[in-house]
Amino acid sequence: MNTGSLKAAVVQMVSGSDPAANIQTMRRLVRQAADQGAQWVLLPEYWPQMGQERDKLALAEPFGSGRFQAALGETAAECGVVLFGGSIPLASGQPEKVFNSLLVYDENGRCLSRYDKAHLFGFDNGREHYAEADTISAGSGVPRLEIGGHGIGQGICYDLRFPELFRAQAPFDVLMLPAAFTYTTGSAHWQLLLRARAVENQCYLLAAAQGGRHDNGRRTYGHSMIIDPWGDIIACLPEGEGVLCADLDFEKLQSVRRRLPALAHRRF
């Protein structure tokens, strides 16, 4: 593997119900990350729109065309970054359902990878109710992705609770996780789960979140983070929109794996 380093960034947004405004914000924040030297940039889940649950049905694009995909490809090329496009709604072929998809674009604006969210969030505490399965079709697998000699793990939000998804992709050097965790579940489990996934996979973990009060009334937890292979939090943005940048040191990653070769000790 490549043992050098690169600068990566996560973007935190507080997306509203207006896709055009969200596209403009996305472009501005990715440019901000690129101006800080970021080579890889990760966007949050649902960055194009955080409206009502069924709003995404009207916004779904066929894979390969549409304004969200065009905006991602153009922004990657204009800023000269590898852009991990958070998630956007793609047509699923099922009535009244979409895929919630992470698309990755290279520095030339070419789509490298597509991952459809596999695990669909369901939660009901009597005050809050979420049932993603009502409007989202579950994906069935994760594509292998390697960029610049580094394996990339992928997941979206609720996937974080299912470590077997990431074990199936191992080994990888960086795990990309766009999310829109609710404030309730995020305050309880977000940091705990992120650090656990980084530690058990001995990888860098980039988590880009929605972070604040949205115009649909929903509150998301934020706390976008970059975490190193020892589980230390390198950078964190509690709430509001913004950009976090950090150097990913792959010699440090290899040092962790040499000192504690847990991945080599796996039996199952």
* Residue positions annotated with a catalytic role: 45, 117, 157
Residue of 213, 181, 190 whose CA lies nearest to 45: 181
CA distance 1 to 8: 18
Helices (H), 94-210: 163-167, 183-185, 191-201
At residue 190, φ and ψ (nearest 5 deg) are -55, -60
Residue 153 to residues 36, 70, 169, 175, Cα–Cα distance (Å): 24, 24, 6, 4
How far is residue 42 from each of residues 216, 242, 249, 255, measured CA to CA in Å? Answer: 24, 12, 18, 25
Determine contact, residues 153/174, Cβ cutoff 8 Å. Answer: yes
Query: Is the dihedral angle over the CA atoms 3, 7, 13, 17 positive or is it negative?
Result: negative
Of 157, 172, 169, nearest in space to 118 by CA: 157
SS (H, E, C) 192-216: HHHHHHHHHHCCEEEEEEECCECCC
Q: CA torsion sign, 127 to 133 to 135 to 140?
A: positive
**Residue 209 and residue 179 in contact, taking contact as beta carbons nearer than 8 Å:** yes
Report residue 160 as tokens.
């974080």
